Amino acid sequence: MVKLKSNDDKEFEVEEAAVIQSEMIKNMIEDGCATSVIPLPNIDSKTLIKVIEYLNKHINMGKAAETGEEDDLKEFDEQFVNMGWEELFDVIMAANYLNIHELMELCCQSAADRLKNKSVRAVREMLKITNDLTEEEEQEIINDAPWAFEGPEIDDTVN
Amino acid sequence: MAEKEYSPVYKASRIDSESGEEVVDRISELPVHVIHQMLSKLHQKQAARTSVLSKKWYYCWTSRPNLVFDLLQHMPLEKFVEFVDQSIQPHLEQNLRIEEFNLKYHDAGGYASSHIDRWIDLAVKHNVRVLKIDTLNNSGSEKPPYRSLPDVIYGAENLTTLMLSKYKFEITSSTSTSFCFLKDLYLSYVHISQSQLQKVLDECPFIANLSLCDCKGISKLHVFGGLVHLKSLFVASCELDNVIVRVSNLTKLTIIQGRELESVEIQAPSLLDFTFSGDKLPSMDPSSLESARLQFNLYRVLVIHNFGDVDSVWCTKLQHFLRKFDYSKVSLSGVFYLIYFIGNGLSI
């Protein structure tokens, strides 16, 4: 068992087999730096609980493939990323910090799926992006690739 | 556009002018490599559209490691060349990584050839891992000439995926190929001789996916033991007369060939998914299969008076073959419609 501590001082015990899906922790264990509690100053307990839920479910990917639980895992993944943008960013930041490749892929795919066909205006609003380009700069960028900004499929709604 | 360069002191929050509340731009706080990963999941058009979101996003777009040009197949050549050149420029200037160079362009006249060779050269110099070049014009009925594969590809040691069309391999036994970590090799309308293919397979032990479609130069496809990582093999319309597959971990196999195919021998104990189209029965043990699609084209049956011993022998063999499937787990679909004409005695 490996102990992880969130930035709001909550401790969680995780099986080593699950937690080594994090390259960062795997390296710590291999280097003998994981003898006591591993503090994770960038991750709050709410996010850490989500990440641990993912790690526990994805323990031994190979075993799932053998026993035909792949569909089950796919369903879990779909449910897992069914969260708001804020929460998704927290999980992405945690997955990036802990270096969990599969989780990063899953979350980035989910972010990409949500942005599919969205107009520039819609994306800015959904993600609360502050536009710091001037109108001239914006037009110059559009002129470089006008084909990207036209088409009937572009969706201006924000949900 | 130097004035638009990304400033690291990005202001991630602002005060909403209407509500007076602070609006936090969380996504722009993400590290650039995370945004790159997201961009790589987006369709090219959507990804390009993010360039206008803000300065940070413009920087992320122009520095993206996945250079994909698969949407602009009908763009006039001059514009296309200008766009690709412009996209690759930041990578040259700032020595940025090129993870993927993926180009799809209808280049029937071969006018883009010199540019494409130049881009391949640049991509390989920037340690490209995924290289996909498709210049086939599917609508044309005439077969375009093959082009020599640029030598630089043989030395592309970081390649994991190589997808090519309209090229001719020109390696000899003394050419050294460096892409020994290749995992996916997809050749479509490519000229490659048997010994050249054999050399590539011998030197790439990690190959997991191999696809040969409409390739010329090979009459015998022999895929043997050394490729323990090979999971999927797809062969279609390659004028093969002989296929021997002996691979322990192969799970998916597709063979779509015409009349020229004389014999097919398969020893693949892990095979789960099998698609076959041809007029010869493959020699194999299908008991491991979970899914099979079979299409046997019996040209003979079209000539009614030829109906006789040859076909009844064939039918017996087919019956025998079909008995070997494990029907408790396999989903089998087959096109036996031609057999139906002659198959009164066939109970399947």
Poorest-pLDDT segment among A80-89, B17-26, B156-165, B333-342: B333-342
The predicted model gives A137-159 an average pLDDT of 87
- pLDDT for the residue B178: 82
Poorest-pLDDT segment among A10-19, A31-40, B119-128: A31-40
Q: How far is it, in rounded angstroms, from Cα B105 to Cα B300?
A: 42
B-chain CB neighbours of A123 within 8 Å are: 49-50, 53
The predicted model gives B18-29 an average pLDDT of 70
Q: How far is it, in rounded angstroms, from Cα A18 to Cα A52?
A: 8
pLDDT band for position B338 (cuts 50, 70, 90): very low
- pLDDT for the residue B2: 41
The token pair at A17 is: 């087999």
Using alpha carbons only, give the angle B231, B287, B206 rounded to the nearest 5 degrees: 15
CA distances, B279 to each of B169, B217, B285, B323 (Å): 30, 22, 18, 19
Q: Determine contact, residues B187/B211, Cβ cutoff 8 Å.
A: yes
pLDDT above 60: residue B337: no
SS3 (DSSP) at B59: helix
SS3 (DSSP) at B163: strand
pLDDT above 50: residue B146: yes
Quick one: DSSP state of residue B104? Answer: E
Among B28, B34, B72, beta carbon nearest to A129: B28
- pLDDT for the residue B12: 54
A108–B37 CB contact, under 8 Å? yes
SS3 (DSSP) at B243: strand
Q: How far is it, in rounded angstroms, from Cα A37 to Cα A4?
A: 6
Instruction: Using CA coordinates, name the residue in chain B closest to A96.
Output: B34
pLDDT above 90: residue B187: yes
pLDDT tens sequence across A47-59: 999 999 999 998 8
- pLDDT for the residue A60: 67
Residue B194 CB-density burial (10 A; 0-12 exposed, 13-18 middle, 19+ buried): middle
Domain residue limits, chain A: 2-115
pLDDT above 60: residue B4: no
Instruction: Using CA coordinates, name the residue in chain B closest to A109.
Output: B41
Q: Measure CA B196 to chain center.
A: 19
The predicted model gives B56-66 an average pLDDT of 95
Q: How far is it, in rounded angstroms, from Cα A100 to Cα A47?
A: 14
pLDDT band for position B342 (cuts 50, 70, 90): very low
The predicted model gives B117-135 an average pLDDT of 95
The predicted model gives A114-128 an average pLDDT of 91
Phi, psi (5° rounding) for residue B274? Answer: -135, 125
- What mean pLDDT is reported for chain B? 84
Residue B128 CB-density burial (10 A; 0-12 exposed, 13-18 middle, 19+ buried): buried
Torsion A119-B56-B80-B132 (CA) sign: negative
- What mean pLDDT is reported for chain A? 89
Q: Determine contact, residues B336/B343, Cβ cutoff 8 Å.
A: yes
- pLDDT for the residue A62: 57
The predicted model gives B198-216 an average pLDDT of 93
Percent helix, percent strand, percent coil in chain A, to nearest 5: 60, 10, 35
Instruction: Using CA coordinates, name the residue in chain A closest to B82.
Output: A144
- Percentage with pLDDT > 90 across chain B: 49
Q: How far is it, in rounded angstroms, from Cα B73 to Cα B104?
A: 6
pLDDT band for position A66 (cuts 50, 70, 90): low
pLDDT above 90: residue B254: yes
The Cβ of residue A146 has, within 10 Å, a number of other Cβ atoms equal to 9
Q: Which CATH superfamily is domain A2-115 in?
A: Potassium Channel Kv1.1; Chain A (3.30.710.10)
pLDDT band for position B300 (cuts 50, 70, 90): low
pLDDT band for position B15 (cuts 50, 70, 90): low
Q: Determine contact, residues B133/B120, Cβ cutoff 8 Å.
A: yes
Q: Please report the ipTM that was assigned to this predicted complex.
A: 0.91
Instruction: Using CA coordinates, name the residue in chain A closest to B48.
Output: A148
Phi, psi (5° rounding) for residue B15? Answer: -100, 125
Poorest-pLDDT segment among A79-93, B126-140, B184-198, B332-346: B332-346
Comparing CA positions, the residue from B151, B189, B144, B143 lying closest to residue B172 is B151
Q: How far is it, in rounded angstroms, from Cα B191 to Cα A24?
A: 45
Q: How far is it, in rounded angstroms, from Cα B190 to Cα B48?
A: 31
pLDDT tens sequence across B210-242: 999 999 999 999 998 789 999 999 999 898 889
The predicted model gives B320-339 an average pLDDT of 76
Comparing CA positions, the residue from A118, A131, A121, A87 lying closest to residue B12 is A131
pLDDT above 80: residue A25: yes
Among B34, B38, B58, beta carbon nearest to A141: B58
The token pair at B50 is: 């993010």
> Which amino acid, B90?
P
Q: Which residue has the higher pLDDT, B326 or A90?
A: A90
- pLDDT for the residue B319: 84
pTM of the model: 0.85
Q: Determine contact, residues B211/B275, Cβ cutoff 8 Å.
A: no
B contact set with A (CB within 8 A): 1, 3-4, 10-14, 23-31, 34, 37-38, 40-46, 48-55, 57-58, 71-72, 75, 83, 86
- pLDDT for the residue B41: 95
Quick one: DSSP state of residue B175? Answer: P
- pLDDT for the residue B250: 95
- pLDDT for the residue A63: 64
Distance linking the first and last C-alpha atoms of chain A: 41
Distance linking the first and last C-alpha atoms of chain B: 70
Q: Which residue has the higher pLDDT, B274 or B3?
A: B274
